[in-house]
């Protein structure tokens, strides 16, 4: 599962016509001022989409609107063709999972108990997990290489292990759409790459992944599409080669960069003065 | 490629090995729960009979056991046997109350800790107990708590006081940012205010001082079967409801937003369960007065024993809580016989060192 996506030829170009996420003219504001001003997204099945933008550009807010934690002022969000206005949180939780950057610690939940929580949207019996739930949880924990410390408490894990536990919990939710908020924020470079590979292989298995990230060079290496967000507006949406340019980086982040192309993939090199 | 084949085979083997280990652990967890529940209930039953032997009129364990059997089979005590009468009218309801209150406070504490996501809260700290006290003291001084009506007015006053105080605490804490510490601070402020108000009410009604003091220190003396039945139902029903929600309580440990990711209607659930635990705590303090620290310490003890899963935590908290308070009551009956120690005060004195230890040991981890 943890194959090197780049070694296999980079971004997949397989035809996947099914649109999983469609956001149209999304407007939202915490105060009178709008945080998001008319966002449109179209993400197909199995696409790995990165949300890139400065702090406060509306990345997390957009995710919160998509999973209905927040109610948009205008516009529509459709997941697998269903308008979220007509869906309950419970129904959304079976279509879309959100993987936070971190999770509250404390209280002695074991890693396995934590991952098992991801099955709660599917709970049929109100008490114990079904054999099917157990099967799914153990498979996911195995895939992410955390089954051997299933009994360890969450607060005893390292950041890298915890990131994998968070992803495993997201996967057992069996979503069509997976939103990941800065999964690599606190990780060293090895784990960053590992997490990217994991997300990439999830996308290859048909889950649409929407990831907010500040690691632009990892984004260009692994993602199919980049959505560049600035001040609540979409600046550009397309393949990394189209979106990540000297001009766009200057416009969005107000920094001077040099773009280096390595087998077609653009990498940024900030010019330090 | 034979090499990759062996690799895949090895991985397969490792996976099934780990799975078997997990299978074993699952069985182990269920056995553990079974042992705690059966062992706990047995210990509770034995201690219950033992508690019936204690008092001014001494009985042997065998006499108490025979007495209880006779009472159960004859549906009441025989008129001629003094021991049975004492057991039936004085000691049985008292010990039942001790068990129910201990279990109720422990479960209320466990649920509150999960909802507020703060391991250092309990009905005492969040102002529920003080609110109930305030309600009961007010209604007692108002003269509505005497005669036939007392059986109804006291618990109602306690419940209203508890829910009101708890609501104010929650409201203030949420307004102040809803951090773990906000709840503790708001609770401390509200309960200090209410305690002071109680002091003032007592100051102006010195003649009722003794009665109110007994209530405020907590005591299981003079409890009739009527009160025992009300306490039994008033604690058992909310505890059963809380148990039914234990899977959702597990999800609530992730925090409000992340619980919503998993499809939980957090606001409704939180409000509903808050009212539930306020009612539960109110029934616990309505007749016996304020008993602190049980709701705080017992859930922690159980977490150390069986982990944080509420499906195990709630039943084991109930059993252990009931057991601890029953033992504490036996201690209060016997330590300074023939006079009795106030159980609330005794539990608090014993609970403080434990609480401090917990705070030093665990406080850092919960990022207060």
pLDDT in tens, A117-176: 888 888 776 677 888 888 899 888 888 888 888 888 888 888 888 888 999 999 999 999
What SS3 state is found at A265?
strand
Q: What is the DSSP letter of A46?
A: T
Q: How far apart are CA B241 and CA B314, in angstroms?
A: 11
- Burial classification of residue B326, based on how many CB atoms lie within 10 Å of its CB (0-12 exposed, 13-18 middle, 19 or more buried): buried
Domain total for chain A? 1
Which pairs with CB-CB distance under 8 Å and at least 24 residues apart come from A11-14? A11/A48, A11/A223, A11/A224, A11/A239, A12/A46, A12/A203, A12/A204, A12/A224, A14/A46
Is B263 in contact with A103 (Cβ distance < 8 A)?
Answer: no
The residues that bridge with A225 in the sheet, in sequence order, are A49
Is A89 in contact with B263 (Cβ distance < 8 A)?
Answer: yes
What integer pLDDT is reported at residue B145 of this predicted model?
Answer: 64
| Token couple for B224 | 């009739």
Q: How far apart are CA A89 and CA B264, in angstroms?
A: 7
Mean pLDDT of B152-167: 85
Higher pLDDT, A73 or B28: A73
What integer pLDDT is reported at residue B365 of this predicted model?
Answer: 57
Residue A7 within a domain: no
Q: CA geometry: angle at B236 spanning B232 and B239, to 5°? A: 150
What integer pLDDT is reported at residue B363 of this predicted model?
Answer: 60
* B247–A contact, CB cutoff 8 A: yes
Q: Please, are residues B184 and B175 in contact by the beta-carbon 8 Å criterion?
A: no
Indicate the residue of B18, B254, B303 with minimum beta-carbon distance to A117. Answer: B254
Residue A264 within a domain: yes
What integer pLDDT is reported at residue A212 of this predicted model?
Answer: 92
Q: What is the DSSP letter of A101?
A: S
Per-position DSSP letters for A158-210, written without gaps between them: -HHHHHHHHHHHHHHT--SEEEEE-TTTT--HHHHHHHHHHHHHHHHTT-EEE
For residue range A167-200, what is the model confidence (pLDDT) as tens digits?
999 999 999 999 998 887 778 888 889 889 989 9
Q: CA geometry: angle at A221 spanning A216 and A223, to 5°? A: 85
Instruction: Provide, as residue numbers in chain B, all residues whose Cβ is less than 8 Å from the Cβ of A210.
Output: none
What integer pLDDT is reported at residue A126 of this predicted model?
Answer: 66
For residue range B6-60, what is the model confidence (pLDDT) as tens digits?
777 887 788 888 878 877 777 777 787 788 889 888 999 999 988 888 777 778 8
Contacts of A244 (CB under 8 A, 6+ apart): A216, A219, A220, A226, A259, A266, A268
Interface of B with A in 161-200 (CB under 8 A): none
Residue B163 has pLDDT above 60, yes or no: yes
CATH 3.30.230.10 fits B2-362, yes or no: no
Residue A122 within a domain: yes
Which chain A residue's Cα is nearest to B366?
A106
Instruction: Provide, as residue numbers in chain A, all residues whose Cβ is less than 8 Å from the Cβ of B111.
Output: none
Indicate the residue of A107, A110, A126 with minimum beta-carbon distance to B247. Answer: A126
Q: How many CA atoms lie within 13 A of A241 on its CB side?
A: 7
Closest CA of chain B from A104, distance in Å:
6
Is B263 in contact with A147 (Cβ distance < 8 A)?
Answer: no
How many CB pairs below 8 A link A and B? Answer: 101
Higher pLDDT, A132 or B219: A132
- Mode of pairing for the β-strands spanning A48-52 and A208-212: parallel
Which chain A residue's Cα is nearest to B250?
A117
Instruction: Provide, as residue numbers in chain B, all residues whose Cβ is less than 8 Å from the Cβ of A89.
Output: 260, 263-265
* Least confident segment among A228-232, B151-155, B267-271, B279-283: B151-155
- Percent of chain B's residues with pLDDT above 90: 15
Q: How far apart are CA B342 and CA B340, in angstroms?
A: 7
Exposure string over B57-93, b if 16+ CB within 10 A, otherwise e: eebeeebbbbbbebbeeeeebeeebebbbbbbebbbb
Instruction: Provide, as residue numbers in chain A, all residues whose Cβ is less than 8 Å from the Cβ of B257.
Output: 69, 100
* Least confident segment among A266-270, B47-51, B120-124, B234-238: B120-124
For residue range B55-100, what is the model confidence (pLDDT) as tens digits?
777 788 888 888 888 888 877 777 777 778 888 888 888 899 999 9
For residue range B286-303, what is the model confidence (pLDDT) as tens digits?
778 888 888 888 988 888
The full 3-state SS of chain B, as one line of letters, equals CHHHHHHHHHHHHHHHHHHHHHHHHHHHHHHHHHHHHHHHHHHHHHHHHHHHHCCCCCCCHHHHHHHHHHHHHHCCCCCCCHHHHHHHHHHHHHHHHHHHHHHHHHHHHHHHHHHHCCCCCCCCCCCHHHHHHHHHHHHHHCCCCCHHHHHHHHHHHHHHHHHHHHHHHHHHHHHCCCCHHHHHHHHHHHHHHHHHHHHHHHHCCHHHHHHHHHHHHCCCCCCCHHHHHHHHHHHHHHHHHHHHCHHHHHHHCCCHHHHHHCCCCHHHHHHHHHHHHHHHHHHHHHHHCCCCCHHHHHHHHHHHHHCCCHHHHHHHHHHHHHHHHHHHHHHHHHCCCCCCCCHHHHHHHHHHHHHHHHHHHHCCCCCC
| Token couple for A40 | 């449109």
Residue from A108, A119, A147, A169 to probe the interface with B (highest B Cβ count within 10 Å) = A108
Q: Please, are residues B253 and A104 in contact by the beta-carbon 8 Å criterion?
A: yes
Highest mean pLDDT among A3-17, B106-120, B202-216: B106-120
What integer pLDDT is reported at residue A125 of this predicted model?
Answer: 66
Closest CA of chain A from B252, distance in Å:
10
Mean pLDDT for chain B? 83
Residue A13 within a domain: no
What integer pLDDT is reported at residue B357 of this predicted model?
Answer: 81
Which chain A residue's Cα is nearest to B313?
A108
What integer pLDDT is reported at residue A104 of this predicted model?
Answer: 74
Mean pLDDT of B151-167: 84
- Percent of chain A's residues with pLDDT above 70: 91
Is A127 in contact with B247 (Cβ distance < 8 A)?
Answer: yes
Is B262 in contact with A120 (Cβ distance < 8 A)?
Answer: yes
Instruction: Provide, as residue numbers in chain B, all residues whose Cβ is less than 8 Å from the Cβ of A107.
Output: 113-114, 117, 119, 253, 303, 308
Residue A74 within a domain: yes
Closest CA of chain B from A64, distance in Å:
9
pLDDT confidence bin for A57, thresholds 50/70/90: confident
Specify the pTM.
0.85
Indicate the residue of A93, A104, A128 with minimum beta-carbon distance to B262. Answer: A93
Indicate the residue of A89, A94, A103 with minimum beta-carbon distance to B258. Answer: A103
Residue B227 has pLDDT above 70, yes or no: yes
Is B22 in contact with A112 (Cβ distance < 8 A)?
Answer: yes
Q: How far apart are CA B92 and CA A166, in angstroms?
A: 51
Which chain B residue's Cα is nearest to A152?
B307
Residue A3 within a domain: no
The residue assigned the tokens 């993939």 is A265
CA distances (Å), origin B349, targets B284, B297, B304: 19, 13, 22
What integer pLDDT is reported at residue A14 of this predicted model?
Answer: 45
For the domain that residue A50 is a member of, what is the CATH number? 3.40.50.300
What integer pLDDT is reported at residue B240 of this predicted model?
Answer: 94
Exposure string over A108-132, b if 16+ CB within 10 A, otherwise e: bbbbbbbbbbbbbbbbeeeeebeee
Is B308 in contact with A107 (Cβ distance < 8 A)?
Answer: yes
Residue B321 has pLDDT above 90, yes or no: yes
Closest CA of chain B from A160, distance in Å:
19
Measured CB to CB, residues of chain A less than 8 Å from chain B are 67, 69, 88-94, 97-98, 100, 103-110, 112-113, 117-118, 120-121, 123, 126-128, 134, 138, 142, 147-148, 150-151, 155, 173
What SS3 state is found at A267?
strand
| Token couple for B361 | 């040991």
Closest CA of chain A from B130, distance in Å:
27
């Amino acid at each position: 599962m943890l194959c090197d996506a780049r070694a296999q030829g980079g971004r997949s170009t397989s035809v996947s016509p099914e649109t999983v996420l469609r956001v149209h003219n999304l407007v939202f504001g915490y105060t009178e001022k709008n945080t998001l001003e008319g966002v449109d997204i179209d993400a197909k099945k199995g696409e790995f989409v990165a949300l890139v933008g400065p702090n406060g550009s509306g990345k997390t807010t957009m995710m919160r609107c998509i999973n209905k934690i927040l109610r948009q002022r205008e516009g529509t969000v459709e997941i697998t063709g269903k308008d979220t206005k007509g869906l309950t949180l419970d129904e959304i939780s079976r279509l879309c999972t959100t993987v936070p950057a971190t999770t509250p610690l404390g209280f002695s939940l074991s890693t396995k108990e934590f991952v098992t929580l991801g099955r709660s949207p599917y709970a049929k019996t109100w008490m114990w997990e079904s054999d099917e739930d157990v099967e799914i949880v153990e498979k996911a924990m195995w895939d992410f290489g955390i089954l051997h410390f299933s009994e360890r408490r969450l607060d005893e894990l390292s950041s890298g292990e915890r990131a994998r536990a968070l992803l495993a919990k997201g996967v057992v939710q069996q979503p069509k759409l997976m939103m990941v908020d800065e999964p690599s924020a606190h990780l060293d470079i090895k784990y960053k790459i590992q997490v990217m590979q994991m997300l990439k292989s999830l996308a290859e298995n048909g889950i649409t992944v929407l990831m907010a990230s500040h690691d632009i060079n990892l984004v260009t290496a692994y993602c199919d599409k980049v959505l560049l967000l600035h001040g609540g507006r979409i600046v550009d949406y397309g393949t990394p080669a189209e979106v990540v340019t000297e001009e766009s980086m200057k416009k969005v982040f107000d920094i001077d960069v040099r773009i280096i192309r390595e087998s077609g993939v653009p990498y940024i090199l900030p010019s330090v003065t | 490629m034979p090499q990759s084949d062996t690799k895949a085979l090895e991985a397969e083997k490792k996976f099934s090995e780990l799975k078997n280990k997990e299978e074993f652990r699952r069985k182990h967890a269920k056995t553990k729960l079974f042992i705690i529940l059966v062992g706990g209930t047995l210990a509770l039953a034995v201690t219950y009979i033992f508690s019936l032997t204690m008092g001014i009129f001494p009985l042997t364990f065998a006499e108490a056991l025979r007495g209880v059997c006779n009472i159960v089979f004859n549906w009441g005590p025989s008129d001629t046997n003094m021991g049975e009468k004492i057991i039936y009218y004085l000691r049985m309801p008292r010990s039942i109350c001790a068990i129910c209150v201990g279990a109720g406070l422990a479960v209320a504490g466990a649920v509150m800790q999960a909802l507020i996501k703060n391991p250092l809260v309990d009905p005492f700290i969040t102002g529920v107990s003080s609110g109930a006290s305030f309600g009961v003291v007010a209604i007692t001084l108002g003269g509505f708590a005497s005669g036939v009506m007392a059986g109804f007015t006291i618990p109602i006053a306690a419940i209203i006081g508890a829910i009101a105080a708890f609501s104010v605490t929650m409201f203030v804490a949420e307004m102040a940012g809803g951090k773990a510490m906000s709840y503790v601070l708001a609770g401390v402020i509200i309960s200090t205010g209410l305690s002071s108000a109680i002091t003032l009410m007592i100051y102006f009604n010195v003649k009722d001082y003794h009665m109110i003091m007994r209530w405020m220190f907590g005591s299981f003396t003079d409890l009739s079967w009527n009160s025992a039945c009300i306490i039994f139902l008033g604690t058992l029903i909310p505890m059963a409801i809380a148990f039914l929600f234990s899977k959702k309580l597990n999800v609530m440990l992730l925090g409000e937003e992340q619980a919503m990711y998993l499809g939980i209607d957090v606001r409704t659930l939180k409000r509903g369960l808050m009212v539930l635990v306020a009612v539960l705590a109110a029934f616990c303090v309505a007749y016996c007065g304020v008993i602190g620290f049980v709701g705080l310490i017992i859930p922690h003890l159980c977490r150390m024993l069986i982990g944080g899963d509420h499906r195990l935590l709630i039943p084991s908290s109930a059993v252990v809580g009931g057991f601890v308070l029953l033992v504490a009551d036996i201690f209060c009956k016997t330590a300074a016989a023939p006079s009795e120690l106030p159980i609330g005060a005794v539990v608090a004195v014993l609970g403080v060192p434990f609480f401090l230890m917990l705070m030093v040991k665990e406080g850092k981890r919960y990022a207060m």
